[in-house]
Amino acid sequence: SIDSRKSAVMSAALGAGAHMVNDVSALTWDAQSAAVVAAAGAPVVLMHHQGDPQSMQKDPRYEDALVEVYLWLEERIAAAEQAGIAREKLLVDPGIGFGKTVAHNLELMNGLALLHGLGCPIVLGASRKRMIGALSNEATADQRLPGSLTLALKAVEQGAQLIRVHDVPETAQALKVWRGLRD
């Protein structure tokens, strides 16, 4: 997949063989990006964010993070469909760490299943995120594997269909054991 907010990068990557677009702006940053995705017929991940990357962590505020993220993603799904992207090509990501405090991230993780109401597959990218460090004596990114596994299992437990991780073999093993316990 290609991870970009820029339509030119999306277009070049899709032309070079990328099969999916992950846009941390949910197609809001570049006015041409929705048209590029629609023309390519590629799946696209619409990720929630609050603010721009330079300032989004300064003072993020929500009255109810889970509900606000849901409603924002609902609007972005409608906009993507209006731009000609088929609903079955849309995936949603709550944007852990993108304009959210640790408390907001925990609220989203604990209520992730609500996003199934949007009718799109759920993607979660929480691997090695800052919230893990904040909850574990400021562990550095290279020491956040156990927390990353915990968040991946929590997401899958709530039905998330795609998990973006740094530690693929370790996460795959944790998921196999988790499934074995359930089976």
**Which residue in the list 5, 76, 100, 129 is annotated as catalytic?**
129
**Which residue in the list 6, 130, 154, 164 is annotated as catalytic?**
164
Q: Is the dihedral of CA 130, 90, 163, 70 positive or negative?
A: positive
- Is 164 annotated in the active site? yes
- Is 179 annotated in the active site? no
Question: What residues are annotated to the active site?
Answer: 129, 164
